[in-house]
C-alpha cells in the first residue's frame, strides 16, 4: 500500500457536553510522537485556550490505533467478537506517526470561546465550500 504524499492530519475534536464534533485538517507536526491519553494544547489548531485529549485514530490503510500496543508499529492482535469467536485484526500502536491520517480527540479544558460558537463557524465554513 502506498504511503500518503503529504503529511496531513484530520483531527476530530468531540465535545462531551454538547455531543458535537468538528474535523480540522493540519499539516503541523506538533502531533508527531504524542500517545493515546496525552492531553495537548489545541492552539495550533486555532482553538486558543482549549486542551484536548487524544483518544485514538487510524492510519492511511484504516488500521485503528489501540492503547495497549506500544509505539508506532503495525501488528496483528486477537479480538474477541463474542464468547466463542476470536478474529485476528491488524492494528496500529498508540503513538502518532507519519502514517496516521485521522486523530480522534475529546475536549478536556475549554477556552474563552464556547464550543457551540466554534462548531457553528465550522459548519458554516463547510457548507460554503460545497
Beta bridge partners of 86: 80
| Tens digit of each residue's pLDDT (9 = 90 or more) over 51-97 | 999 999 999 999 999 999 999 999 999 989 899 999 999 999 999 99
Q: Is residue 75 part of a domain?
A: no
Q: Is residue 88 part of a domain?
A: no
Grid cell 482549549 in the structure block, residue: 50
> According to the model, what pLDDT value does residue 94 have?
96
Q: Is residue 1 part of a domain?
A: no
> According to the model, what pLDDT value does residue 3 have?
58
Task: Give residue 9's pLDDT band: very low, low, confident or very high (50, 70, 90).
Answer: very high
Q: Is residue 57 part of a domain?
A: yes
How far is Cα 63 from Cα 90, in angstroms, rounded to an integer? 6
Contact between 87 and 79 (Cβ < 8 Å): yes
Q: Is residue 36 part of a domain?
A: yes
Q: Is residue 53 part of a domain?
A: yes
| Tens digit of each residue's pLDDT (9 = 90 or more) over 13-34 | 999 999 999 999 999 899 999 9
pTM > 0.85: yes
Total number of domains constituting the chain: 1
Range of the domain at 32: 9-61+96-129
Q: Which of 13, 123, 3 is nearest to 57 (CA)?
A: 13
| Tens digit of each residue's pLDDT (9 = 90 or more) over 30-55 | 999 999 999 999 999 989 999 999 99
> According to the model, what pLDDT value does residue 2 have?
56
Count CB-CB contacts under 10 A for residue 65: 25
Q: Is residue 15 part of a domain?
A: yes
> According to the model, what pLDDT value does residue 127 have?
84
Contact between 13 and 21 (Cβ < 8 Å): yes
Task: Give residue 4's pLDDT band: very low, low, confident or very high (50, 70, 90).
Answer: low
Alpha-carbon dihedral sign for residues 26, 37, 106, 78: positive
For residues 18-29, one letter each, b for 16 or more C-beta atoms within 10 angstroms of the residue's C-beta and e for the rest, the string is eebbbebebeee
Amino acid at each position: 500500500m502506498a504511503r500518503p504524499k503529504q503529511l496531513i492530519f484530520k483531527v476530530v475534536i468531540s465535545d462531551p457536553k454538547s455531543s458535537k464534533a468538528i474535523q480540522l485538517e493540519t499539516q503541523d507536526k506538533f502531533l508527531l510522537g504524542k500517545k493515546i491519553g496525552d492531553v495537548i494544547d489545541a492552539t495550533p489548531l486555532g482553538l486558543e485556550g482549549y486542551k484536548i485529549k487524544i483518544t485514538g485514530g487510524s492510519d492511511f490503510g484504516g488500521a485503528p490505533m489501540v492503547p495497549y500496543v506500544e509505539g508506532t508499529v503495525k501488528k496483528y492482535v486477537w479480538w474477541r467478537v463474542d464468547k466463542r469467536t476470536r478474529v485476528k485484526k491488524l492494528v496500529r500502536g498508540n503513538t502518532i506517526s507519519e502514517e496516521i491520517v485521522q486523530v480522534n480527540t475529546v475536549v478536556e479544558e475549554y477556552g474563552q470561546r464556547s464550543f457551540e460558537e466554534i462548531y457553528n463557524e465550522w459548519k458554516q465554513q463547510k457548507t460554503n465550500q460545497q
